[in-house]
């Protein structure tokens, strides 16, 4: 059975993208239109840290197999936009810093530092018309690492409203975000965003958007994984860029009583990112 140890990747790269925010005032109230505004040749630097703890037990004929692991990714990636459509990247070059690394830890054992399989490499990412994502990496990498890499090109537009919104308003972005959530035919997802505030911080107009998500995944062996998380992103309005993102969530495994193998437990995960224009851009 392959567990989804990275449950939130469909959103992390979107959090770490670039977005333009344009304020629009009316006589009644002030509304804001949020839209992605990347252009060819633009470069964006991303610094991310992701950590996932898995604590689960699989029981078959009274025999238990426990999983207690902690995995983490600490990467620095500069993304150069090669092609775009409607302000969202469709092709991008990812330059992965040589100091990027992963870590892994079993139960109470020592933490092992593992080189990021993409460290020091240049990789082209592509987002296709059917919203699938691919890359030209030819080496060996775990699925979790490949998912994280691919999702750097997931559009921020997934999380923005289709109409102008005022501070305090919410919008349902399930349909847009679901395109990149790797949902199976029986999986279910609900995602809601909110414009929390727009104010001046250190002389810059900043906006905060929060996102609440619930997903039910159906795994091998009829294991149901109920996942929920919340995230906040901070947008530099003048620069047109999300400059910080924080995410925290958990999941729980359940199995129908008719299954020979019963799985219980779940995961806890966190994600942080810092985003800025690349030097000289």
Tens digit of pLDDT per residue, the chain (281 long)?
Answer: 223 333 344 333 343 444 444 444 443 478 888 888 889 999 999 999 999 999 999 999 999 999 999 999 999 999 999 999 988 899 999 999 999 999 999 988 899 999 899 999 999 999 999 999 999 999 999 888 999 999 899 988 887 888 988 999 999 999 999 998 888 999 999 999 999 999 998 898 788 999 999 999 998 889 999 999 999 988 777 666 778 899 999 999 999 999 999 999 999 999 999 987 654 44
DSSP three-state, residue 174: helix
DSSP three-state, residue 148: helix
DSSP lists the bridge partners of residue 83 as 91
DSSP 165: B
CA gap 20, 18 in Å, rounded: 7
Of 43, 36, 27, which Cα lies nearest the Cα of 154?
A: 36
CA gap 143, 192 in Å, rounded: 28
At residue 179's C-alpha, the angle toward residues 177 and 182, to 5°, is 105
* Residue 75: both structure tokens together: 């990467």
Asked if 195 contacts 207 with a C-beta cutoff of 8 angstroms, the reply is yes
Asked if 144 contacts 71 with a C-beta cutoff of 8 angstroms, the reply is yes
Of 96, 30, 109, 37, which Cα lies nearest the Cα of 68?
A: 109
Indicate the domain borders of the chain: 9-74+157-277
């Amino acid at each position: 059975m392959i567990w989804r140890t990275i449950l939130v990747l469909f959103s992390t790269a979107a959090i770490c993208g670039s977005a333009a925010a344009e304020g629009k005032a009316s006589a009644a109230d002030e509304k804001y239109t949020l839209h992605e505004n990347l252009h060819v040749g633009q470069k964006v630097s991303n610094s991310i840290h992701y950590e996932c703890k898995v604590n689960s037990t699989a029981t078959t004929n009274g025999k238990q197999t426990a999983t207690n692991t902690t995995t983490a990714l600490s990467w620095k990636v500069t993304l150069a936009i090669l092609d775009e459509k409607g302000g969202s990247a469709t092709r991008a070059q990812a330059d992965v810093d040589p100091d990027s690394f992963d870590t892994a830890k079993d139960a109470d054992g020592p933490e092992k530092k593992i080189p990021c399989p993409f460290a020091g490499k240049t990789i082209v990412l592509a987002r296709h018309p059917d919203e699938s994502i691919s890359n030209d990496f030819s080496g060996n990498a775990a699925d979790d690492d490949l998912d994280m890499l691919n999702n750097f090109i997931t559009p921020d537009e997934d999380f923005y409203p289709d109409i102008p919104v005022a501070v305090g308003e919410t919008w349902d972005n399930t349909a847009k975000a679901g395109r990149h959530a790797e949902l199976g035919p029986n999986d279910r997802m609900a995602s809601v965003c909110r414009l929390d505030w727009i104010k001046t911080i250190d002389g810059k107009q900043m906006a905060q958007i929060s996102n609440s998500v619930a997903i039910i995944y159906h795994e091998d062996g009829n294991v149901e994984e109920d996942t929920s998380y919340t995230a906040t992103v901070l947008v530099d309005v003048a620069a047109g860029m999300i400059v910080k993102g924080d995410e925290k969530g958990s999941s729980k495994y359940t199995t129908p009583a008719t299954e020979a193998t019963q799985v219980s437990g779940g995961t806890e995960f966190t994600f942080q990112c810092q985003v800025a224009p690349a030097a000289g851009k």
